[in-house]
Amino acid sequence: MSEPLLSIRDLVTEFDTQDGLIRAVDHVSFDVGRGEVVGVVGESGSGKSVTAMSVMGLVPPNVGRVVQGQALFDGQDLLAASPEEMRRLRGDELAIIFQDPITSLNPVLTVGAQIGEAIRTHRDLSKDDARSEAVELLTAVGVDDAERRVDQYPHEFSGGMRQRVMIAIAIANRPKLLIADEPTTALDVTVQAQVLELLSRTQQEMQSSIVLITHDLGLVAEVADRVVVMYAGRVVETGSVHEIFQEPRHPYTRGLLASRPGLGGSDRLPAIPGQAPSLLAMPTGCKFHPRCDQSDGRAPCWEEEPSLRVIGADADDRASRCHYHEELARERTAETPRPRGRWWRR
pLDDT in tens, 171-191: 999 999 999 998 887 778 888
For residue 157, is pLDDT > 60?
A: yes
Enumerate residues 6+ apart whose C-beta is below 8 A from 312: 318
Going by C-alpha positions, the residue among 180, 207, 174, 208 that lies closest to residue 195 is: 180
pLDDT computed for residue 264 by the predictor: 59
pLDDT in tens, 5-35: 999 999 999 999 999 999 999 999 999 999 9
CA 98 to chain centre: 10
Return the SS3 of 9.
strand
Of 8-22, 155-169, 199-213, 255-269, least confident by mean pLDDT is 255-269
pLDDT in tens, 38-94: 999 999 899 999 999 999 999 999 999 999 999 999 999 999 999 999 999 999 999
pTM reported for the whole predicted model = 0.90
pLDDT computed for residue 314 by the predictor: 55
Return the SS3 of 346.
coil
